[in-house]
């Protein structure tokens, strides 16, 4: 295994960059308004991050309509999660059932010691045991890596930049155009911040995949699960997808991109049976699988990695 040092380094550097951006913007706005105390900026930033960290899990639970899933209801799920938690070296997360109509799973919480894993009801009839365990292993990877803490912290930064931009655009105070310039900078940093948040999200997915394999799951089982989940999302109505759009980064795959993902997966589904075997994954390494430049560009705006790049990485872990 490659370990997680690259993940930690990327997370650290990106987080430092984002906090530098928002601190610079707040300092600039404060100087423009005649506020010079750095403690005010630091305190305001810490309060916003803390609120996101503390209330984030409750907001996710409510917005995704999650209820506790008892061991009596799904003993096999609890057994798999316990095995994965032991492999990850973290306490067993709380397990929930999300009453939404898209087959998927997601993790949330404040830390690896306070994790939650939720599955949606449609996933239970779609994946076999190995595929489901691989997906749960992916979510356990997010918990082990404490991805929720970093995500909670950095996701508020573009929002801060956006509201600074909004405030100065419509402040009605020209002062030689200084307010408008700060507004423009705020909006620019908002766009940059959004791209950096997406970059962090994609990085999280790669290493959660790797963690699932580290916990004893076959790469082909996870790839096959991603394939089936793409089919499941593609069958859902646009309204159903739109209802979870703001939370799609939590899912194991990007439900907005399901149809394109199916097209990609079909390139490696050599026998056309709708699932990916170990042999098909091995053949991928020596096959002419094309990743279009369009997909590469679209990946920059996606919460998840390009599906073929993701699968190729998993194929390499199988060797």
Active site residue 71: no
Query: What are the φ/ψ torsions at residue 318 (nearest 5 degrees)?
Result: -85, 5
Taking only the tens place, the pLDDT of each residue in 15-48 is 778 778 877 877 787 777 776 565 666 677 677 7
Q: What's residue 179's pLDDT? A: 79
Q: Is the pLDDT of residue 81 over 80?
A: yes
Q: Provide the percentage of residues in the chain whose pLDDT is more than 70.
A: 88
Q: Where are the alpha helices (DSSP H) in 64-218?
A: 75-88, 129-144, 147-169, 178-214
> Whole-number mean pLDDT of the chain?
86
Dig out the tokens for 188 from the structure.
């620019």
Sign of CA dihedral 283, 285, 288, 289: positive
Please pick, among 83, 94, 99, 139, the residue that the annotation labels catalytic.
139
Query: Which secondary-structure segment (H or E) carries 40?
Result: helix 38-63
Name the residue with tokens 């939650």.
116
CA–CA dist 248, 242 (Å, integer): 10
Taking only the tens place, the pLDDT of each residue in 94-133 is 999 999 999 999 999 988 999 999 999 999 989 999 999 9
Taking only the tens place, the pLDDT of each residue in 140-179 is 999 999 887 777 777 778 878 888 888 787 665 555 567 7
Q: Is the pLDDT of residue 52 over 70?
A: yes
The DSSP secondary structure of 297-317, one letter per residue, reads HHHTT-SS--HHHHHHHHHHH
Q: What's residue 176's pLDDT? A: 57
Q: Answer whether 35's CB lies under 8 Å from 164's CB.
A: no
């Amino acid at each position: 295994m490659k370990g997680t040092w690259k993940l930690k380094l990327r997370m650290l550097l990106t987080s430092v960059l984002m906090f530098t951006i928002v601190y610079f913007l707040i300092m600039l706005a404060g100087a423009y308004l005649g506020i010079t105390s750095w403690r005010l900026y630091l305190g305001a930033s810490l309060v916003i991050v803390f609120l996101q960290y503390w209330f984030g899990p409750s907001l996710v639970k409510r917005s995704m309509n999650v209820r506790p899933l008892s061991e009596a209801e799904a003993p096999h799920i609890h057994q798999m999660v316990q095995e994965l938690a032991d492999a990850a070296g973290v306490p067993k997360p709380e397990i929930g059932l999300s009453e939404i109509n898209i087959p998927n799973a997601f993790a949330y919480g404040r830390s690896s010691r306070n994790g939650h894993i939720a599955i949606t009801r449609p996933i239970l009839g779609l994946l076999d045991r190995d595929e489901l365990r691989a997906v749960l292993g992916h979510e356990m990877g997010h918990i082990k890596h404490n991805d929720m803490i970093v995500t909670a912290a950095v996701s508020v930064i573009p929002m801060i930049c956006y509201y600074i931009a909004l405030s100065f655009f419509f402040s009605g105070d020209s002062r030689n155009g200084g307010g408008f310039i700060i507004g423009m900078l705020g909006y620019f940093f908002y766009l940059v911040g959004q791209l950096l948040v997406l970059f962090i999200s994609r990085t999280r997915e790669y290493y959660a995949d790797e963690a699932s394999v580290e916990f004893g799951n076959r790469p082909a089982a996870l790839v096959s699960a991603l394939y089936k989940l793409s089919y499941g999302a593609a069958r859902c109505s646009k309204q159903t997808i739109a209802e979870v759009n703001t939370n799609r980064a939590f899912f194991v795959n990007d439900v907005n991109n399901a149809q394109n993902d199916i097209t990609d997966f079909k390139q490696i589904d050599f026998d056309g049976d709708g699932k990916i075997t170990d042999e098909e994954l091995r053949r991928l390494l020596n096959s002419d699988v094309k990743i279009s430049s369009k997909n590469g560009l679209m990946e920059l705006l996606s919460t998840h990695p390009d599906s073929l790049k993701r699968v190729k990485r998993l194929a390499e872990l199988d060797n």
